[in-house]
Structure 1
Amino acid sequence: MARKKLVILGAGESGIGSAILGQKKGFDVFVSDSGTIKNKYKSVLYENGIRWEEKQHTEAEILSADLVMKSPGIPEKVPLVQKLMEKGVPVISEIEFAGRYTQAKTICITGSNGKTTTTLLIYDMMKRAGLNVGVAGNMGKSFAWQVAEEDFDLYVIELSSFQLDGMYEFRADVAILLNITPDHLDRYDYEMQNYVDSKFRILQNQRPEDYFIYCADDEVITSEIEKREIDAQMIPFSIKNKLAFGAWIENNELKVSINHNSFAMSIFDLALQGKHNTYNSMAAGLSGVVFRLRKEKIRQCLTDFQGVEHRLERFIKVHGIEFINDSKATNINSTWYALESMSTQVVWIVGGVDKGNDYSMLYDLVKTKVKAIVCLGKDNRKIIEAFDCIVKDIIDTDNMEEAVRNSYFLAGEGDTVLLSPACASFDLFQNYEERGQMFKQVVRNL
């Protein structure tokens, strides 16, 4: 009997992981990437005898597939993907593919902001509690690669809307929805409802014994919940209101209560400070209670978690000036959270590839917290025009050395220099990680 053919579009981490898993499960695997495949991935393909091509997509080869795993970075509107769909070839995401070959429990986290922090916080908590747990999604080893080579009982998975779009049969045992604010709307025909629908795919196939943990302060989420029939057990968390069930703040204490299982701790003891991080800590604490972890373990993890590189990373003080690397803030909302959590005067480094940003939602925070702005990008006119009447000192730069040097001169003792770009990094850097690493390197050289 002929083997089924699995074609993989995109040879990044998720693509190579899917190729390894596909081969292990008896598929005839072919990997195709329109760009250049990294050498470390090429060597894996060679070692495993997997056919591949780069810098092209051979249509005849691809259209003969029985199943296609598409990288989340490739939009569905691409003609090749449209042809596959017209032909009736299933096009799925790596998470969907890997999910078919594991019986492990899953905790899945999505939202416009805070996904990575919450995912790593929950992973850290489960690991410390002694569970046999893996972490997947947009970090580390891909889910498919781990399913192929590891034997975890539980996965904590960060899910972007693009990954959710290619998921059909997959089911999350615990689904966490942190927030929904406009992002990536270019992929959703500039229709907010399309993006909301994408995020709510995290609930698909959930059963009454599963859990849906969500932010009750997010109006988009709460209004969408009213339109839907949800089978899972719903657990809200809120900073604004006291709840009888879920997680909330009362007298500066974070309280969690689910089915007579409860615990409390001071919000001042949380390792991650700022309103957005309180939400992240609540979501993590709730998943700990759902999995019946010991209260001391949950409390300990929320108290001393180290945080995420490039996300509000306080890494050095130079002459009394604190430098914070928030390079992962690639949209307005992330930067809003960053500025909101600042308790000193800020010299703010901002700029890059604008995703249609509306800077007006930052005006109030910038008026009260920002003493100077340093723009870092190839074209900073929109930022300069947006804040010209609010901030006296605005400097235009197009390289990291100049941006850091100007920030250092503009800041005084007790101030903070915050790299929180609110934009993608592709004009000057390969990705937000490279931008953050270079920022830290230049600051250390001051």
Structure 2
Amino acid sequence: MRLVILGGGESGVGTAILGKKKGYDVFVSDFGKIKGNYKEVLIINEIAWEEEKHTEDLILNADVVMKSPGIPDKSPIVKKLLGKGIPVLSEIEFAAPFTDATIIGITGSNGKTTTTMLTHHLLKSAGLNVGLGGNIGKSFAWQVADNKYDSYVLELSSFQLDGIVNFKPHIAIITNISPDHLDRYDYKYENYIDSKFRITMNQTEEDYLIYDADDEAIAEWFKTHTTKAKLIPFSLTKTFSEGAYIKNNKMEISINQEEFTMDTEHIALEGKHNMKNAMAATSVAKLMQIRKSTIRESLSNFQGVEHRLEKVLKIQNVQYINDSKATNVNATFFALDSMNTPTVWIVGGVDKGNDYNELMSLVREKVKAIICLGVDNKKIIDVFGNVVDMMIEVDNMNDAVRMAQRLSEKGDTVLLSPACASFDLFENYEDRGNQFKQAVKNL
């Protein structure tokens, strides 16, 4: 069996290792450059590879193809493969049959990284032998090749879910759905929503789907679709006999006739959106039979995720917060919503079709100054130019942070929450967040 892998990054190389171990004839092809560390792994494992090209003769003879999530279905080589009827799968689909581990799959437009990390923290703290992968950390396929975990918590993007056929998590979570990556879905929101719900398409009555009952797109989908999985909703406003909710500042969870309650003030994560992430993760912990005392302790000591509402430093009584991971409007909405002090907001980058008007009421209420950090800031200036007292454009992070310090007073917050991708001025959102933190430390 010939396995061809498109993309020589983390998921590609992980799949190559697993494929080789399972006796496939493996070939890795990357249209860009393969990083040095990945190249070494391929060479040590005697796996054939090429970079900066796709040689059709070596690709179109595949029995099965795994493509990295970043490669769109519209790319010429993928079109040719599909035209020949060669199955093109995601890493998750390829690797899942080779493990008997319990799989917890987490998707959503926002909150999925925090929910994934928190779920993993809850299970690991309880002594479970659990792996973390998917869209974060070490490749799922690579971990399956090493065969060490009894369960996996996987963060799954819509791109990964587009490439599944039989994959089914025992427990699935949809944190929320808001427009994102629509350029990959013919600019049709319903296509993107359907893509997220692929996480539950193969689930049976033995499986569980945990979801945000306050989310409009999710509610709409349920009007015309069903899933066999047992449903566990969570909500900030509704209450359930089976599900999770917040009432009188208490998180209450009822699953399989078992109750769990905890005061929200003891939960380390702050903000309404994080209460939702905590309810989703705790629901998993309850399903996995983790003791209440362990859950309480883990929820109170969880450190959060880097670049997601990460408190950097307080300088002259001004709090600097790094939310570089907010690459869409919905994520920035959560960030602004959780601000309790006058805010200097650093925003901008590569816009994926954003509608900034959704942020208008929060900006009026909380933002005193806006610093635009992007190559093209016209849209942001058009929307908010008359709403805030100060609006400044900069083209690098040091200037952004120095300006923010000038515009802020005691008791204020400086918030980097770009609502955009980072590729105009930075390598990725991590690079953007790290530059912000360094610039703050240099003040």
TM-score category (smaller protein): over 0.9
Supply the AA of the counterpart residue of 1:416: T
Supply the AA of the counterpart residue of 2:386: C
Cα distance between partner residues in 1 of 2:344 and 2:184: 33
Of 18, 43, 46, 1:21 maps to: 18
Partner of 1:234: 231
Whether the 8 Å CA contact 2:99–2:147 is kept in 1: the answer is: no
Residue 3 of structure 2 is aligned to residue 6 of structure 1: yes
Partner of 2:35: 38
Partner of 1:304: 301
Shift of 1:165: 0.1
Partner of 1:314: 311
Partner of 1:103: 100
Shift of 1:347: 0.3
Partner of 1:361: 358
Q: Write out the 4+ residue segments of structure 1 that deviate beyond 6 Å after TM superposition.
A: none
Residue 410 of structure 2 is aligned to residue 413 of structure 1: yes
Shift of 1:226: 2.6
Residue 253 of structure 2 is aligned to residue 267 of structure 1: no
Supply the AA of the counterpart residue of 1:100: P
Of 349, 371, 374, 1:374 maps to: 371
Supply the AA of the counterpart residue of 2:248: N
| TM-score (normalised: structure 1) | 0.98
Larger mean Cα displacement after TM superposition, 243-252 or 161-170: 243-252
Partner of 1:333: 330
Residue 189 of structure 2 is aligned to residue 181 of structure 1: no
Cα distance between partner residues in 1 of 2:173 and 2:371: 36
Cα distance between partner residues in 2 of 1:358 and 1:250: 32
Cα distance between partner residues in 1 of 2:122 and 2:147: 20
Cα distance between partner residues in 2 of 1:242 and 1:27: 51
| TM-score (normalised: structure 2) | 0.99
Residue 380 of structure 2 is aligned to residue 383 of structure 1: yes
Partner of 1:428: 425
Cα distance between partner residues in 2 of 1:358 and 1:232: 34
Residue 438 of structure 2 is aligned to residue 441 of structure 1: yes
SS class of match (2:380): helix
Larger mean Cα displacement after TM superposition, 224-233 or 323-332: 224-233
Of 62, 69, 82, 1:65 maps to: 62
Supply the AA of the counterpart residue of 1:391: V
Deviations 1:311-352 (A, max 9, x none): 000121111110000000000000000000111110000011
Cα distance between partner residues in 1 of 2:432 and 2:220: 37
Cα distance between partner residues in 2 of 1:52 and 1:254: 51
Residue 306 of structure 2 is aligned to residue 280 of structure 1: no
Supply the AA of the counterpart residue of 1:150: N
Cα distance between partner residues in 2 of 1:251 and 1:373: 35
SS class of match (1:181): coil
Shift of 1:301: 1.2
Partner of 2:126: 129
Supply the AA of the counterpart residue of 2:369: A
Of 235, 242, 245, 1:245 maps to: 242
Shift of 1:415: 0.5
Partner of 2:390: 393
Shift of 1:220: 1.2
Shift of 1:133: 0.2
Cα distance between partner residues in 1 of 2:423 and 2:150: 38
Partner of 1:112: 109
Partner of 1:221: 218
Deviations 1:273-307 (A, max 9, x none): 11110100000111111111001111111111100
Cα distance between partner residues in 2 of 1:259 and 1:72: 36
Whether the 8 Å CA contact 2:370–2:390 is kept in 1: the answer is: yes
SS class of match (2:191): helix
SS class of match (2:295): helix
Deviations 1:241-261 (A, max 9, x none): 122211011111110011221
Shift of 1:229: 2.6
Cα distance between partner residues in 1 of 2:27 and 2:410: 58
Deviations 1:371-399 (A, max 9, x none): 00011111212111110010110010000
SS class of match (1:100): helix
SS class of match (2:98): coil
Deviations 1:130-172 (A, max 9, x none): 1000000121110000001131000000000000000111111
The runs of 5 or more residues in structure 2 that have no matched partner are: none
Between the two proteins, the alignment pairs up a number of residues equal to 443
Cα distance between partner residues in 1 of 2:399 and 2:226: 54
Give the alignment of 1:339-350 within 5 angstroms. Answer: 339-350=336-347
Cα distance between partner residues in 2 of 1:103 and 1:227: 33
Cα distance between partner residues in 1 of 2:229 and 2:329: 32
Larger mean Cα displacement after TM superposition, 226-235 or 56-65: 226-235
Give the alignment of 1:71-90 within 5 angstroms. Answer: 71-90=68-87
SS class of match (1:256): strand
SS class of match (1:348): strand
SS class of match (1:424): coil
SS class of match (1:382): helix
Shift of 1:443: 0.5
Shift of 1:223: 2.1
Cα distance between partner residues in 2 of 1:310 and 1:159: 19
